[in-house]
Structure 1
Amino acid sequence: MATEVTVPVLGESITEATLGEWLKQPGDAVAVDEPIASLETDKVSVEVPSPVAGVMGQHAVQVGDTVLVGAMIATIDAGDGAPAAAAAPQPAVLQSPAAEAQASPAATAGQQAPASDPRDTPAALSPSVRRAVLEHGVDPATVKGTGKDGRLTKDDVAAAAASTPAPAPAPAAAPPVSASVAASTGRKEERVRMTRLRQTIAKRLKEAQNTAALLTTFNDVDMTAVIEARAKYKDLFEKKHGVRLGFMGFFVKAACLALKDIPSVNASIEGDEIVYHDYADISVAVSSPGGLVVPVVRDADQMSVAQVEKTIGDFGKRAKDGTLKMDEMKGGTFTISNGGVFGSLMSTPIINPPQAAVLGLHRIEDRAVVVNGQIVIRPMMYLALSYDHRLIDGREAVTFLVALKNAIEDPTRILIDL
């Protein structure tokens, strides 16, 4: 008897998702609660667990399809995953979607290599890895995956292509349109459907520009004191707390102090009302394979620097693994985005609605500055505060940045709440 696998509840107000990847193929043995598929929502990727143990049955939807909450996406059959129970063997070579649809079951079974790993079949590959395989002409069955559960990554494919001569791609492997363009002009184009996360990012950022009266004010900060404190205590800090001492802990705590002094920067607009928050839930922008995500450090004003660093470090690791939870992305009263880790000198960040402000951090570089009438070299960083001018006046924005600057240049202020 087959058991249906349905799309689970994804979170408040989220009714649909996109099937990003099949983690199990027809005929694979499946354990209870073992992930069989990955769904892309507006914020994070969500794995769909198997409700029972058995054998993976037929896929009801394809990668890239939009599915509703509660919809059936696959079936789980009773059994132990023996090869004879495989319902739909996968071809060992890549084919175009049209060729896959026309291939007969007997021919497909004849082409399949007995020792191939189901995780490396075309349907199991993510769209980006599948494109890399097509570009480099690499047989995925011959490449050892280093990704999650042994699945292939783009780096695995690139390394395999660099170590062995790339075979000439079969005519069916290249899209006909691209082939004709390449043959006539030597120029190629690639069209890739936007992920649901990227669509949501685009929609929210444009909504912020259309709704808020955005303005950005700048300042710079001397990082000497923080750099010296970090160099002096980083070893002891890591030994005691099990996490590296970075700069974000200082900036989060300094921002919390400044938010207390200027509460409008920590507020939001709802209708014709201003909502002031007596807590600081700091959204921290981190990179993930699918785009920028913004998990929330809740009650950051009540945390120590060590607790902030641990929380942000955990967010960063799980963002790369795609295991952030939906609840961890909700809320937030103020955002900090650190473009300096990528080398950014200056930017004008866009607020994350319904928040009223976002702080942009940038790279640290030695610059000549005047201190007590003397020209000296100091490690300087530009700070950018973008804010909703409907709620925050220029005086308040500048005052906030000055308070933040003072706390970073004299970290003792963070300790004594000054």
Structure 2
Amino acid sequence: MQELKVPSVGESIVEVEIGAWLKGEGESFAQDEPLVELITDKATLELPAPFAGTLKQILKKTGETARVGEAIALLEEGRAEAAPKAQAPAEAPKEPSPEPLAMPAAERLMQEKGVSPAEVQGTGLGGRILKEDVMRHLEERTPAKPQEAPPPPPSRPVPPPSTPTQPPADKPWRVSEAVPMTPLRRRIAERLLMVRQTTAMLTTFNEADMSAVIALRKEFGEAFQKKYGVKLGFMSFFVKAVVQALKEIPELNAEIRDNHIVYHRYYDIGIAVGGGEGLVVPVIRDADRLSFAEIERQIADFAERARTKKLKPEELMGGTFTITNGGIYGSLNSTPLLNPPQVGILGMHAIQERPVVRDGQVVIRPMMYLALSYDHRIVDGREAVTFLRRVKELIENPARLLLEV
């Protein structure tokens, strides 16, 4: 029998939350097959099996926390096909394979009262059993007690903030539900609040005519995809433009460390992508050394693994500058928040045909608003405006990206 322990999942991460168990007790698994999801404050990871065998006992259930190095399950090496079959009938009454998930408070109450999860109808997210579901079950099981308990109404107007309020009897549809924040969402909330409290953030705006980039994609997009196996998107143009602008305005590729300004002479560009539980920012390392195709491949890979919760913690760390594209959700303009300790973030937005003046004539062009948020403690308005104007020039004349002029 061997212990399945929480591995080190990244710098500064000492605790994880147990997500969904992908195998049940008594089930066999192959080597490297995912056994359980581990939720950190940066990403959700799958923990693979160290060898082929059988999951004998789950020590940490979904929703519980475990420290790095702590055992969360017991594994038995070897396939042993007959063992699961012999154990399945004996264990079936104890744990009916798809047992409803229960919140920790509900689980404790069920253990105290001797209630099986199969007896309780969960009303939480995804059918999770809440504490009030257990209480309701106990009241229904012992009808004498609810009638002896009229005193609770005085406390009802001020229910605990962590539990859902019961709807009025005449309006049963007015239901609220309190769901604990995941570690990732808690971390996002903490960092966004910290940005407001610890930086002198300002935002400057400009707009770019996307005609030239759209024409290039239309002319070479098919050949590019055939040759490299990935679509030619807008993001690679912006990564290239940002890198070139950062070389010219190094204040935006820096950070404050104690009483020093640290200027980075490398270009690790964070790309904000929507994950299963929130926005994550994987980092393209040494973006200045990559081709358009290499950048597009990395972005596509990040997006896919963000959806399937397979990003590695180290891929979300570091970064010297960030690009976020609210345009994929239809945003026309916004003020992006900094990703500390970085001092700059570029916001891309939806492309919209608008009338603009060119050579004294009003013409219709595909335009995109650009927003640069920056930390005024390091970056002055002149540098910020110059940087954004440079990105605009490079996007409007992408030949400059190849010639670096």
- The offset of 1:63, in angstroms, is 1.2
The SS at the match of 1:185 is coil
1:415 aligns with 402
User: Which of residues 311, 314, 317 is equivalent to 1:327?
Assistant: 314
**Alpha carbons 1:3, 1:52 under 8 Å: kept:** no
Q: 1:182 to 1:245 in 2, by over 3 A?
A: farther
1:399 aligns with 386
Does residue 75 of structure 2 align to residue 89 of structure 1? no
- The offset of 1:185, in angstroms, is 2.7
Does residue 49 of structure 2 align to residue 62 of structure 1? no
Does residue 340 of structure 2 align to residue 353 of structure 1? yes
- The offset of 1:248, in angstroms, is 0.3
CA distance in 1, matches of 2:19, 2:236: 34
Does residue 211 of structure 2 align to residue 204 of structure 1? no
**Cα shift readout 1:80-138 (whole Å, capped 9, x = no counterpart):** 35232244432667586569643579xx7xx9xxxxxxxxxx99xxx85436x99xxxx
CA distance in 1, matches of 2:13, 2:68: 8
1:315 aligns with 302
2:367 aligns with 380
User: Which of residues 171, 175, 180 is equivalent to 1:185?
Assistant: 171
Q: 1:180 to 1:393 in 2, by over 3 A?
A: closer
CA distance in 2, matches of 1:218, 1:291: 26
CA distance in 2, matches of 1:188, 1:372: 59
2:247 aligns with 260
* More divergent stretch after superposition (197-206 vs 395-404): 197-206
CA distance in 1, matches of 2:293, 2:231: 9
The amino acid of 1:35's aligned partner reads P
- The offset of 1:183, in angstroms, is 3.4
CA distance in 1, matches of 2:47, 2:210: 45
The amino acid of 1:259's aligned partner reads L
Percent identity over the alignment is 48
The SS at the match of 1:310 is helix
Residue ranges of structure 2 left out of the alignment (5+ in a row):
131-135, 141-145, 147-162
The amino acid of 2:95's aligned partner reads P
User: Which of residues 231, 234, 237 is equivalent to 1:247?
Assistant: 234
The SS at the match of 1:183 is coil
**Alpha carbons 2:165, 2:177 under 8 Å: kept:** no
Residue ranges of structure 1 left out of the alignment (5+ in a row):
112-121, 135-170
- The offset of 1:301, in angstroms, is 1.1
The amino acid of 1:60's aligned partner reads L
CA distance in 2, matches of 1:95, 1:21: 9
1:220 aligns with 207
1:337 aligns with 324
Q: 1:178 to 1:257 in 2, by over 3 A?
A: closer
CA distance in 2, matches of 1:94, 1:245: 45
**Alpha carbons 2:166, 2:175 under 8 Å: kept:** no
Q: 1:381 to 1:95 in 2, by over 3 A?
A: closer
**Alpha carbons 2:62, 2:101 under 8 Å: kept:** no
The amino acid of 1:130's aligned partner reads G
- The offset of 1:5, in angstroms, is 1.3
The SS at the match of 1:347 is coil
CA distance in 1, matches of 2:326, 2:307: 17
CA distance in 2, matches of 1:52, 1:303: 37
TM-score by length of 1: 0.80
* RMSD (Å), alpha carbons: 2.8
CA distance in 2, matches of 1:14, 1:221: 41
CA distance in 2, matches of 1:104, 1:302: 58
The amino acid of 1:349's aligned partner reads P
CA distance in 2, matches of 1:360, 1:95: 39
**Alpha carbons 1:359, 1:386 under 8 Å: kept:** yes
Task: Give the length in aligned residue pairs.
Answer: 363
The SS at the match of 1:82 is helix
**Cα shift readout 1:332-388 (whole Å, capped 9, x = no counterpart):** 100000000000011111111110100000000011111111111111110000000
The SS at the match of 2:95 is coil
Does residue 271 of structure 2 align to residue 284 of structure 1? yes
- The offset of 1:77, in angstroms, is 3.5
TM-score by length of 2: 0.83
2:350 aligns with 363
The SS at the match of 1:181 is coil
- The offset of 1:321, in angstroms, is 1.1
CA distance in 2, matches of 1:37, 1:184: 43
CA distance in 1, matches of 2:35, 2:110: 22
Q: 1:179 to 1:213 in 2, by over 3 A?
A: closer
